[in-house]
């Protein structure tokens, strides 16, 4: 039997992780084509006009953007709900998700993870140390101050884990990938939330696949992920030639 959902996107992407955690929390079956956006073929360009991951395929339906996908999955499969029931809390959760997708994405993904990982290992270029230092020493601390001011001392933001907690934990995983540890003395609530969120079975299950992906060249990732039991699809939209995305020059 074919799975209802097919996801295109690499395990190391925080946007893909958001969707995967939602699917795992909801117990949905899926297949995955774990490509990096940079190696997508022409078919990928058709499915993802901005050449970005994740893309969710459900039969003839193609959905782009992690927030759109998470909300769609939540509406299709309401239990457990990943959006707070109170309208005000729900708006707040969406804002935190948006803040992570945009600003934490800029700082953690483009300022740190792309520079230290993708740029060197995918494009064979030297990282820009000034961009990394600014992201790590100036921009991320301000973002962590802001998150610290929002977070509760215990539990999750709105009781049960919501898309807001998932977003924070997904993006800060990428900071951990480049060996950044949130200082628990300076940001105790952020550090504790990360510990709680990353301990959820959904995050734990993905962590093994992320770590293996990080340690394997793109060309070998499908094979090693299959060996680990990941639901990798038989077909891929990946090529062996990385190219720059549509949206960014850096």
Ligand X SMILES: N[C@@H](CCC(=O)N[C@@H](CS)C(=O)NCC(=O)O)C(=O)O
By CB under 6 A, name the binding residues for ligand X. Answer: 13, 15, 37, 51-54, 65-67, 101, 109, 245-248
Q: Cβ closer to ligand X: 3 or 67? A: 67
| Inter-CA distances, 221 with 34, 50, 116, 214, Å | 8, 23, 19, 9
Buried b (16+ CB within 10 A) or exposed e, 51-62: bbbbbbbbeeee
Tokens of 150: 């929002």
Q: State in angstroms the smallest separation of the CB of 78 from ligand X.
A: 21
CA 236, 237, 243, 245 torsion-angle sign: negative
Please give the C-alpha separations between residue 179 and each of 108, 113, 124, 136, 186, in angstroms, as whole numbers: 12, 10, 20, 11, 17
CA separation for the pair 197, 168 (Å, rounded): 9
Do the beta carbons of residue 190 and residue 151 sit within 8 Å? Answer: yes
Which residue, 52 or 116, is less far from ligand X as judged by CB?
52
Closer to ligand X by Cβ: residue 219 or 246: 246
Of 65 and 189, the one with the shorter C-beta distance to ligand X is 65
Alpha-carbon separation of residue 120 from 114, 128, 159, 218 (angstroms): 8, 10, 40, 13
From the CB of 185, what's the least distance to ligand X, in Å?
30
Burial 1-40 (b: 16+ CB within 10 A, else e): eeeebbbbbbbbbbbbbbbbbbbbbbebebbbbbbbbbbb
State the minimum distance, in angstroms, from the CB of residue 9 to ligand X.
7
Instruction: Name the minimum Å distance from CB 236 to ligand X.
Output: 16
Q: Which residue in 172, 21, 23, 196 sits closest to 96, CA to CA?
A: 172
What is the nearest approach in angstroms of ligand X to the Cβ of residue 67? 5
* Minimum distance from residue 53 beta carbon to ligand X (Å): 4
Report the residue number, 234 or 247, with the smaller CB distance to ligand X. Answer: 247
Of 201 and 217, CB closest to ligand X: 217
Q: Which residue is nearest to ligand X (CB)?
A: 245
User: Closer CB to ligand X, residue 23 or residue 191?
Assistant: 23
Q: Least distance from C-beta 19 to ligand X, angstroms? A: 8
């Amino acid at each position: 039997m074919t799975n209802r959902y097919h996801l295109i996107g690499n395990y190391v992407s925080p946007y893909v992780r958001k969707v995967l955690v939602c699917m795992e929390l909801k117990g949905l079956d899926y297949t995955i084509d774990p490509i990096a956006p940079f190696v997508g073929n022409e078919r990928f360009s058709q499915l993802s006009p901005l050449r970005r991951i994740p893309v969710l395929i459900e039969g003839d339906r193609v959905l782009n953007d992690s927030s759109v996908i998470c909300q769609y999955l939540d509406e299709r499969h309401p239990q457990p709900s990943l959006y707070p029931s109170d309208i005000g809390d729900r708006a707040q959760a969406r804002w935190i998700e948006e803040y992570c997708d945009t600003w934490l994405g800029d700082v953690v993904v483009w300022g740190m993870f792309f520079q230290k990982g993708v740029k060197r290992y995918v494009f064979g270029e030297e990282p820009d140390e000034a961009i990394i230092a600014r992201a790590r020493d100036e921009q991320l601390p301000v973002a962590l101050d802001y998150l610290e001011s929002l977070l509760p001392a215990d539990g999750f933001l709105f009781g049960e884990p919501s898309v807001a907690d998932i977003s924070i934990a997904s993006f800060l995983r990428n900071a951990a990938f480049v060996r950044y540890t949130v200082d628990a003395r300076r940001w105790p609530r952020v550090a504790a939330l990360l510990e709680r969120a990353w301990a959820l079975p959904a995050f734990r299950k993905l962590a093994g696949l992320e770590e293996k992906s990080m340690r394997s060249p793109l060309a070998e990732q499908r094979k090693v992920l299959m060996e680990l039991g990941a639901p990798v699809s038989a077909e891929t939209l990946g090529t062996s030639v990385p190219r720059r995305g549509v949206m960014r020059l850096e």
